[in-house]
Amino acid sequence: MNEKKRFFLEIAYDGTAYHGWQVQPNAVSVQEKLNQALKTFLREEVETVGAGRTDTGVHARQLYVHFDSANGVLVDVPDRALLALNALLPYDIAVRRIIPVLSEAHARFDATERSYEYHIHHQKDPFLINKSWFVRDVPDVEKMNEAAKLLLGTKDFACFSKSNTQVFTTICTIKEARWEQKEGNLVFHITADRFLRNMVRAIVGTLLEIGLKGKSISFLTEVLESKSRSKAGVSVPAHGLYLTRVVYPYIQER
């Protein structure tokens, strides 16, 4: 019997039809569909580990997953394996790359940086349903960008974490947080070493309290210092959120 080797998959998906990334009872997830495709193609049971969890309706332009397999086709004919896996997956999940890695490589723990985008549009657009959040009023982008600068650095972000989650720390380091006006719409960009559950959606909701509802820029500082989720803004809808980039020291970006 061949010795098992570890592989990373780079995948992308439209999260509209799924109850998030992670396998769960009585609900369809991205991980479940990927596991089924791998099992069918490799003819062996496969356990996948993702770089993180995305919630129901959240999309991913780039997510890495690791798994172990003894099937030599993944090394010998990776192009064929890529075609076969994509043929077995639903139309809304795609495998971009198959990458052999060292046996100790870990998709979740080895990631050094993650980036998200949140998309907002202001004109009714049927082609953006489930892809962007429709907000009629245009917020004060300059004011929100000034507030977003207060997020940068290493801080306790407990105020933006979903309640009752089991995490060892709520300290994160944010290196980018900014709004961009793009073709008349808005995109929020954020990059950090790690994120808490619901963190990006809570940050966007809080910044909109400043940009749309007239709260002062210092409101963000008050929220951070409170460490209380109840002080922050509401979580914006999931369908505007995209995981866009995950960085590893040993994987070359394309």
Q: Would you call 55 a catalytic residue per the annotation?
A: yes
Q: Which positions ≥6 away from 116 have C-beta within 8 Å?
A: 189, 190, 191, 195, 200, 241, 242, 243, 244
How buried is 166 (Cβ within 10 angstroms: 0-12 exposed, 13-18 middle, 19+ buried)?
exposed
For residues 167 and 183, what is the distance between their CA atoms, to the nearest angstrom?
38
Where does 105-198 have alpha helices with state H?
141-148
For residues 201 and 154, what is the distance between their CA atoms, to the nearest angstrom?
19
Grouping H, G, I as helix, E, B as strand and the rest as coil, residue 203 is helix
Vertex 11 angle, CA 6 and 16, to 5°: 140
The DSSP symbol for 181 reads: E
Residue position matching structure tokens 């907000």: 135
Amino acid identity for residue 207 in this structure: L
Tokens at 75, concatenated: 């090394």
CB 37 within 8 A of CB 89: yes
Q: Calculate the CA 6 to chain-centre distance.
A: 23
Which among 55, 79, 125, 193 is annotated as catalytic?
A: 55
Where does 43-132 have alpha helices with state H?
73-76, 78-88
**Computed from CA positions of residues 36, 42, 43, 46, in that sequence, does the dihedral angle turn out positive or negative?**
negative
**Computed from CA positions of residues 247, 173, 104, 9, in that sequence, does the dihedral angle turn out positive or negative?**
negative
Point out the residues that are catalytic.
55
